[in-house]
Structure 1
Amino acid sequence: MRRALMGGLLLFFLIGSGHALEEPEGRVILTVSGNITATNAGNEALFDRGMLEALEQHTTRTHTPWHDGLATFTGPLGRDVLEKVGAQGTMLRVTALNDYAANVPVADFMEYDVLLAMTLDGAPLRVRDQGPLFIIYPFDEFPELLTEKVMTRSVWQVVHIDVLPE
């Protein structure tokens, strides 16, 4: 039942909006490309910090293997960013500033409240603090996510998301 519901949500959320996004006014911190329908620079969607902050912000309090104690992360949900760009696909290729890349199933973003975290304990994530964007899963809420496979998907210093074809 849950899988069927998630499949329906996947189709609902990933139906393209078919229009252009607003232009970034500040420094671009995220580029989304691939199978998307809403763009603002050729075939890409560029986001500055303000554009990502304009999306509904969510908070996850969780332990991670990379932080001491309980950490509080805030940022938009990954699925909200995908909806904003009209993403149509089942897999994402997420690339970090240092060119580390991981494949992340779109289903992760649909099933769980996965954040593109922009703050840690109320402070903006800087590059030296694993920012400006860090994919954070709700590990404490769903302990089954705390696996090596999922941890490799928790990319920090995210700069690019490529929506791969189905």
Structure 2
Amino acid sequence: MQDRIVLGNEQETNRDESRQQDRPASGARRRFAMALAGLAAAALPLPRLAMAGESGALALDVNGAVHVTNNAAHTAYHFSEEQLLKLPQHSIETATTWTPRSTFTGPRLADVLATVGAYGSQIEIHTIDDYTCIVPVSDADRYGAVLAYAMNGRRLKVSDFGPLFLIYPRDQFPLELDGAAGDSKFAWQIVSMTIKP
């Protein structure tokens, strides 16, 4: 069945015929789309590449006021997935503004800071989407905050707060951690932290 369209006083056109004339061969179209996607991916900063996929790499870079480094320039400590998983694992059961009451699992922020010999007073947190927030180093001990990589036993994906989600025990400290001020401490899609003096 052919579609015929009459536009004002214009002649009838056959949509099927015009589509076939304008359409490149399917193989050429696919190669063009793949090349275009490759160019777009190459233009993205590396952290955003993880966002294009469903699961970002479980890794963390910590720099700034730290005594222990492991990169060639001696400016940062890079935690691989293996290193993060070797740290003692802890769980916090709490609700957040964005999630129902759940169990979040990962290393304590205090253990990450101890590993790098952090000596600053503030932590500047950087995320995949270039969001930055600052939390006091003292929060690590005061609240026992966790850098969660799992929620209810399932690995966090980029689309659901992963690869790392800074979790505070909000339900245990509702007066301190509820509301906008408390919410500002919960950062997700974390890729790096800078320790500030």
Q: 1:45: which partner in 2?
A: 77
Q: Is the 8 A contact 2:59 2:84 kept in 1?
A: no
Q: Can you list the C-alpha shifts for 1:60-103, whole angstroms capped at 9, x where unaligned?
A: 11011101x31110000101100000000100100110000001
Compare the two structures and name the one with the higher helix fraction. Answer: 2
* Matched length: 138
Q: 1:96: which partner in 2?
A: 127
**Runs of 4+ off more than 4 Å:** none
3-state SS in 1 of match to 2:194:
strand
Q: 2:93 aligns with which of 41, 47, 61?
A: 61
Q: Can you list the C-alpha shifts for 1:145-166, whole angstroms capped at 9, x where unaligned?
A: 113112112110000100001x
Q: Can you list the C-alpha shifts for 1:9-52, whole angstroms capped at 9, x where unaligned?
A: xxxxxxxxxxxxxxxxxx56211000101111021000111111
Give, as a single letter, the amino acid of the residue that structure 1 aligns with 2:146.
L
Aligned counterparts of 1:28 and 1:73: Cα–Cα separation in 2? 15
Larger relative CO (CA 8 A, sep 6+): 1 or 2?
1
Name the % identity: 38
| Structure 2: tracts of 5 or more residues without a match | 1-56
TM-score, normalization by structure 2: 0.68
Q: 1:70 aligns with which of 89, 101, 104?
A: 101
In the TM superposition, residue 126 of structure 1 has moved relative to its aligned partner by 1.2
In the TM superposition, residue 133 of structure 1 has moved relative to its aligned partner by 0.3
Q: 1:140: which partner in 2?
A: 171
Matching of residue 33 in structure 1 with residue 63 in structure 2: yes
TM-score, normalization by structure 1: 0.80
Which shows bigger deviation, 102-111 or 27-36? 27-36
3-state SS in 1 of match to 2:59:
strand
3-state SS in 2 of match to 1:64:
coil
| Structure 1: tracts of 5 or more residues without a match | 1-26
Give, as a single letter, the amino acid of the residue that structure 2 aligns with 1:102.
C
Matching of residue 110 in structure 1 with residue 141 in structure 2: yes
Q: Is the 8 A contact 1:28 1:46 kept in 2?
A: no
Give, as a single letter, the amino acid of the residue that structure 1 aligns with 2:189.
Q
